[in-house]
Amino acid sequence: MNFLNHEFKVLIGGKLTGSSTGETMNIVNPANGELVAKVPRCSIDDVNAAVAAAKAAFPKWKNTYIGDRAKLLFRLAAIIAEHEQELIPMETVQYGGPLSKTSNFDIPSAVGEIELMAGMGRGISGTTISADPNARVMTFREPYGVVGLITPWNFPLVTAVSKLGPALITGNTCVLKPPSCAPLTVLKLAEYCVEAGFPEGVVNVITGPGTEVGEAIVAHPDVAKINFTGDSKVGKRIMEIASQSVKPVASELGGKNAMIVLDDAELDAVIETAVYSAFFNSGQNCGSPSRFYVQEGIYDKFITRFVETAKRIKVGDPMDPETMMGPLAYMNCRKTAEQYIKSAKDAGFKLLLGERLPEYLQNGAYVMPHIFEITDNKHEFMQDEIFAPVVGVMKVKTAEEAVALVNDNKYGLCSSVWTRDYRKGLLMIDNLRTGTCWINQHLKIVPETPWGGCKESGWTKENSFMVYDEYTFQKHVWLELGDKPHTFWENMITL
């Protein structure tokens, strides 16, 4: 399936248009390398036009009744739902997520995310502070103004709306840049914003290379805040640019997530969740576990069942409804994964699962599920984010050893502990340095719960009521009720 007959356009100042230069970018299906669409390749001039439109629209949008802002978001959610049959194959073909994922997760989650942000956002409030009996002290949430939203390719539509929804309901205007390799559904989202009736300039969507368009958004003096999801290397570059103007950056970055399995864990539950969470979306999920620390008493049973179950994953054409795992997002992802696989083999780690890639998948960005038995936690295989269906398993003696190994990593996004002893589990997660900790669960992420990490995984929170902190700042207001303000000099100066 291709969309070469569809004229994709960016959205600047309420108008759907091509790039100012007329240039385009090719969008390639990672399953077979075929060209599926062309999209505008925007320039710095387009960035400037989009930011100017957002800046002009901000004062009126900020002062629009929040209930009316919510109505527009609910209308946008309804339009997305109406077009799900158009969006599902489009989402699949641009980055390789199988139909089973895009139909059951991506599009429904995008609708739910917007609806939650629109409804919950109407309850945003400030605080009152008992600071002085002769004053009334309070705080108000203020929108930043123009916010730049830069989104990743592994969940193109969901991550875009998870930023757009809270940004808009809190009164910001937006310049949104989707991933260069997978922008199609976000460009459709731009069309839906026009159809929903958002005022000109409130939502702007532009496409182009991150090194040109993305960096121009970050550096623009009229962009008040950046919200970025992606790898830590790019996140550091964004923070470097933003630091020149002390611009705040919300960052949801990489992860090298771990699952700890203790001897008393419920094995059936562990295996099903381990296989699903490790290989869902071909391992291209910032919350997927790629490190497994398994206590020695259950270790042999775990690896036997883990490997047997992972062998049953159907890898193939993402447009086949029966496919469970499609390709990676593009060929460089495959090359990176293959380098780490070679590195693990060269280190002498035992390959428990890793079938040769079938000939009929050779032209795509496919990597088969790989499971290694690891003996060195310091090896790059256990330290770096690979972002592929490639995982390592280590045997541990104690819970304390497992926690220490999990924490011995620069990332801190999420982790899980599997045990029937909840007291032990709670004590363990007290010592785990990750932003999300599950007990007897992994990869359960819903819009109502906060998501974000620590260390080099970033510091922002997506989802839940906490997300509104990312799009507002607290304005402190002091109302003096006394006859006159009191100062330390009041008895020293004669008026």
Residue 474 and residue 465: Cα distance in Å, rounded? Answer: 15
Q: What type of residue sits at position 79?
A: I
- How many CB atoms are located within 10 Å of the residue 67 CB? 9
> Is 286 marked active-site?
yes
> Is 174 marked active-site?
no
Pick from 409, 372, 363: which is nearest to 393 by CA?
Answer: 372
Three-state secondary-structure class, residue 241: helix
**Radius of gyration from C-alpha coordinates of the chain:** 24
Please say whether the beta carbons of 51 and 221 come within 8 A.
no
Residue 347 and residue 370: Cα distance in Å, rounded? Answer: 15
Residue 162 and residue 6: Cα distance in Å, rounded? Answer: 26
Strand partners of residue 38: 26
> Is 437 marked active-site?
no
> Is 177 marked active-site?
no
HEC letters along 315-363:
ECCCCCCCCCECCCCCHHHHHHHHHHHHHHHHCCCEEEECCCCCHHHCC
Considering 42, 181, 193, 286, which one is annotated as catalytic? 286
Considering 9, 55, 101, 163, which one is annotated as catalytic? 163
Please say whether the beta carbons of 91 and 157 come within 8 A.
yes
Pick from 407, 403, 447, 445: which is nearest to 425 by CA?
Answer: 403
Please say whether the beta carbons of 229 and 252 come within 8 A.
yes
Dihedrals phi, psi of 411, to nearest 5 degrees: -90, 160
Considering 91, 115, 456, 462, which one is annotated as catalytic? 462
Considering 115, 252, 385, 456, which one is annotated as catalytic? 252
* Dihedral sign from CA coordinates of 452, 467, 213, 236: negative
Active-site residue list? 163, 252, 286, 462
